[in-house]
Amino acid sequence: MNLDDFSDLIERPDGGIRRDAEERRERLGVAVGALGRLDELGEWLAAAQHSVPVRAVERPRVVLFAGDHGVASLGVSGREAVGAYELVRAVLEGASPVSVLARRMNVPVRVVDAGVDCDPELLPAEVVRRRVRRGTGRIDVEDAMTADEAIAAMELGIAIADEEADSGTDLVVLGDLSVGGTTPASTLVAALCGTDASVVTGRGGAGIDDLAWMRKCAAIRDALRRARPVLGDQLALLATVGGPDLAATTGFLLQSAVRRTPVILDGVVSAACALVAQRAAFRSPDWWLAGQLTGEPAQAKALDRMALNPLLDHGVRVGEGTGALLALPLVQAAAALAAELPERPAPEPEPEPEPTTPEQQDETEAEPKG
């Protein structure tokens, strides 16, 4: 597999359609700029959909890639190692934040087990049937997975993106269900942005104390030493310091751009995968929105590198696509306003002066001046 092929497959959203959407916006009854960023969102959607006026977002879906990370055994996460299974079960049982919001918004949630470290029999077949491996290696001292597993994970993400596009999904809210996932994600961001571990190390979704933060910073520092020699090869990078859930997310993002499916990114994990995908195909970020800021320094670094401006800044760091799902109503509102606001009536033309008859012309010339 050569990820560079995606650079030829991915096109930008139609610039001509976006200009048409901008011109239509100027004809609406509400003054340009009065709706703030909603105008920009509506125009972006129109270009992505290749449609003016923009169509309503009617079939969104939450897609969550799940996995455990061996580095969690170092105590770098606020959750117990090998805990992704509990996260997955909570989502499936409707007891997680993203499940509550999705139920309220009537948005289906799809969970894909790429690398959860549990017996397959504990999860539904449709969730676990494409698992690449159980957990990952400790990225500070060993590879997360093999090269073949990295390819398999990438192909998994590509297949899920195709399935969503073929089923009519018109926008994806992308998230992760991982334990220890912010550590490899931060390592990827640091490697691709050329920064030190301390610059990208945050507290994670579950929150960690100062001692755990120092352990996490040390793990990222050691993983960075292993990542730098393979920076030129995105698949090797994901195999070395990523994991199957991160590789699957990267493949999903690239193929979604190929299939012209808009995606809302959630936290640092999806942002890190997006940064890897951008390295493979520089036009791919044109198909993504940043849903929210989590407070993770690595996420902010990645979004800045991709010039993606988050829609929300509520500090939601629970993961699971929760913050990105909160941004979905804004996108739907932008589409509704762009499509349904009426245009200003065209001004009536001024009546042309009636032609003068020869008699009227003679009378005008005969009038005394002064």
Query: Could you give the CA distance from residue 163 to residue 251 in angstroms, rounded to a whole number?
Result: 13
Strands 109-115 and 171-179: unpaired
Query: Could you give the CA distance from residue 21 to residue 289 in angstroms, rounded to a whole number?
Result: 18
Is the CB of residue 317 less than 8 Å from the CB of residue 78?
A: no
Nearest to 70 by CA among 190, 223, 213, 205: 223
Q: Which residue has the tokens 């087990």?
A: 113
Is the CB of residue 107 less than 8 Å from the CB of residue 173?
A: yes
Structure tokens at 41: 């969102």
Number of Cα atoms under 13 Å in the Cβ half of residue 213: 14
Is the CB of residue 266 less than 8 Å from the CB of residue 322?
A: yes
Structure tokens at 143: 């590879």
Structure tokens at 47: 């270009």
Nearest to 273 by CA among 168, 142, 146, 161: 161
Query: Helix (H, G, I), strand (E, B), or coil: what is residue 292?
Result: strand
Beta strands in the chain (DSSP E): 60-68, 109-115, 171-179, 263-265, 288-290
Task: Pick the catalytic residue from 93, 320, 350, 365.
Answer: 320
Structure tokens at 224: 């960075």
Query: Helix (H, G, I), strand (E, B), or coil: what is residue 219?
Result: helix
Is the CB of residue 181 less than 8 Å from the CB of residue 95?
A: no
Q: 348 an active-site residue? A: no
Query: Helix (H, G, I), strand (E, B), or coil: what is residue 113?
Result: strand
Q: Angle, to 10 degrees, between the axis of helix 268-280 and the axis of helix 182-193?
A: 40
Catalytic residues: 320
